[in-house]
Amino acid sequence: MATKKTTKATSPAKSDPNAFKVTESKDTRSQTLAKLVAGGVLSAVTLKQFSGAGEDLEVSDLVGEMKKAGDEAVAGDLGRVERMLANQMLTLDHLFNNLAQRSGRQDAFKGIEVLMRLALKAQAQARSTAEALALLKNPQPYIRQANMTTGPQQVNNAYAGTPSHSGIQSGAGNIQSEQNKLLEADHGQRLDIGAQAAAGRANQKLETVG
């Protein structure tokens, strides 16, 4: 009786989730590695390490998703960044409340101080994140002005209508008003250049002949 030989099906080898497959190209090995390092592969490895996803998350998939996020930012689509900041703000606010509540349950002053200090730090970071999100949604115009001076000079960049600018204008008006007063006579009469002046006592020979 002939016996049949059974073969056991072998499953394909499981790929290394920490490895990154490189397609063949004309670049040298050093050039290929340089492109991978500069392209964010190291960041993907670091992100995987701190993500807690374990071996189920492959570095190659993470590199592709991070490249997609980078392309969105370059194209001007900052929706992912806005969602990230909003999530971080909520997380920091939750951290603040957790630490503040734990501080309130402490009996020793040292425990209250340590936890409350950490709570306030989390609160400050939540506020900064909210400000960054608001600035991203409503960017402020940036005006750059370069003032080039030589020597002991003072540059005044006050705009017209500001209190400092108004003060300068009123000061200039006062100076001109004082100069006009110097040209006036003692009895309120203005100096007449074309009128004939009376002779003084210092030199009687120059008296006007009637």
User: Which position has the token pair 């540059």?
Assistant: 155
pLDDT at 189 (0 to 100):
55
pLDDT at 209 (0 to 100):
55
- Positive or negative, the Cα torsion across 68, 69, 74, 79? positive
Q: What is the mean pLDDT of each run of 10 residues along the chain (210 residues)?
A: 52 60 76 84 90 88 91 94 96 97 95 96 97 91 68 59 52 57 53 55 53
From the number of C-beta atoms within 10 Å of its C-beta (0-12, 13-18, 19+), residue 119 rates as: buried
pLDDT at 31 (0 to 100):
87
Structure pTM? 0.54
d(CA 103, CA 91): 18
**Closest C-alpha to 63, from 45, 76, 81:** 45
pLDDT at 125 (0 to 100):
97
pLDDT at 88 (0 to 100):
96
